[in-house]
Amino acid sequence: MSRGAENATLLLARHGRTAYNQAGRIQGRSVVPLDEVGVQEARHLAAHLQGLPQPPTQLWSSDLLRAEQTAGEVAARLNLPVRLDARLREQDFGEYEGRALSGLLETDPAFREAWTQDFSLLHPPGGERFADTAARLRHWFEDARPRQKSEVVLAVSHGLALHALLCELTGLNSGEARRRTLFHHANAAYTALTLDPASGRLLEYSAVQSGHLPVAATSSTS
């Protein structure tokens, strides 16, 4: 991906692995720390970002623990302050938080359709609509996007939140993105976006980057 000096860059990274990821449980807003593998993934991400031709100059993070811990590893490596923002949180899964993904896929047909085909259909009981998740991520982007040439902003967030934001920025609906297997982030993987610094218009985006990780994560939960 080209990151010319005339443009700005936004890096969108997912947090490292947690015990819920490993067990296939829905996390949503749950407070779950990184497990040992997740800490190592976060450190690999930090080292990789430090070695980029243009490392991050600003660092934002969801205020949920797993994202904050991941951002903390990057902050320590790059000597950057972390700006915590609740708008970067994962979609709220309400009554489904903590439940096994496999069980929900077996027992809830509406959830199964949304999870396997089109995330925009997600509206867990007592939780948040996918459209509302996308709207708050869009608001964060409008406030925090890089506005200077050569500026590189990194945001650490969550799987569905990143999917929602990338759909917003690319104009793709979630169903189409799923069919094309786009915007799926393994733990501690990231996407790089080239933006026009004046308008915030998306010029280019990379495939999800995970080559810096020693073992690719397989979890699809948040």
Please check if 163 is assigned to a binding site: no
Distance CA 208, CA 189 (A): 7
Distance CA 45, CA 38 (A): 10
Please check if 19 is assigned to a binding site: yes
Please check if 18 is assigned to a binding site: yes
Query: What are the tokens at 215?
Result: 């073992």
- SS3 (DSSP) at 9: strand
Please check if 9 is assigned to a binding site: no
Residues with active-site annotation: 15, 90
Contact between residue 138 and residue 167 where contact means Cβ atoms under 8 Å apart: no
Closest C-alpha among 161, 154, 165, 158 to residue 46: 154
Please check if 89 is assigned to a binding site: no
Query: What are the tokens at 222?
Result: 């948040």
Please check if 15 is assigned to a binding site: yes
What b/e readout covers 191-204, taking b as 16+ CB neighbours within 10 angstroms?
Answer: bbbbbebeeeebbe
Please check if 21 is assigned to a binding site: yes
Binding-site positions for substrate: 14-21, 66
Binding-site positions: 14-21, 66
